[in-house]
């Protein structure tokens, strides 16, 4: 049973536009929500993460919005650039010690000039 649902599967955005990727989770025990970015031929790398005690976290052009009551969170990429073209994975885990990281299925983003 997939515990983190991610959409869309693919996304094409014009340069300068806003890219939005959505995720929903089921396990209310999750308390740490990272996003990973993966370029072709590379492994995923941590991009930004949020804990549920805040509703938004911003790092540069990347913003996570978090809605605890709806069990949803999203990644917004402002002023999208061709260099942002990559696959993005949302994830969730219970923080502390060993807890399995559950990944979404990924969104392939293409930013066109």
Partner 1 sequence: DAGVIQSPRHEVTEMGQEVTLRCKPISGHNSLFWYRQTMMRGLELLIYFNNNVPIDDSGMPEDRFSAKMPNASFSTLKIQPSEPRDSAVYFCASNKIDRNTGELFFGEGSRLTVL
Q: How far is the CB of 50 from partner 1 (least distance, A)?
A: 11
**1 binds partner 1, rule: CB under 8 A:** no
Q: How far is the CB of 79 from partner 1 (least distance, A)?
A: 26
Pairing state of beta strands 86-92 and 102-103? antiparallel
Q: Which of 3, 65, 99, 110 binds partner 1 (CB under 8 A)?
A: 99
Q: How far is the CB of 13 from partner 1 (least distance, A)?
A: 21
Q: Which is nearer to partner 1, 64 or 104 (CB)?
A: 104
**45 binds partner 1, rule: CB under 8 A:** yes
**43 binds partner 1, rule: CB under 8 A:** yes
* CB environment 93-111: b (16+ within 10 A), e (fewer): beeeeeeeebbbebbebeb
d(CA 105, CA 79): 24
Q: Is 113 exposed, middle or buried (0-12, 13-18, 19+ CB in 10 A)?
A: exposed
Could you tell me which of 69, 23, 27 has the C-alpha nearest to residue 48? Answer: 23
**109 binds partner 1, rule: CB under 8 A:** no
- Positions that interact with partner 1 (CB under 8 A): 32, 34, 36, 41-46, 49, 89, 93, 95-101, 103-106
């Amino acid at each position: 049973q997939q515990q983190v649902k991610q959409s869309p599967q693919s996304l094409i955005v014009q340069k300068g536009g806003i890219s939005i990727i959505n995720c929903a989770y089921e396990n209310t025990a999750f308390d740490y929500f990272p996003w990973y970015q993966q370029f072709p031929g590379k492994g995923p790398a941590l991009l930004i993460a949020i804990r549920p005690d805040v509703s938004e976290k911003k790092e540069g052009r990347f913003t996570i919005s978090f809605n605890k009551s709806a069990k949803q969170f999203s990644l917004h990429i402002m002023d999208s650039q061709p260099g942002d073209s990559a696959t993005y994975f949302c994830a969730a885990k219970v923080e502390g010690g060993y807890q399995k990281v559950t990944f979404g299925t990924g969104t392939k983003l293409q930013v066109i000039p």
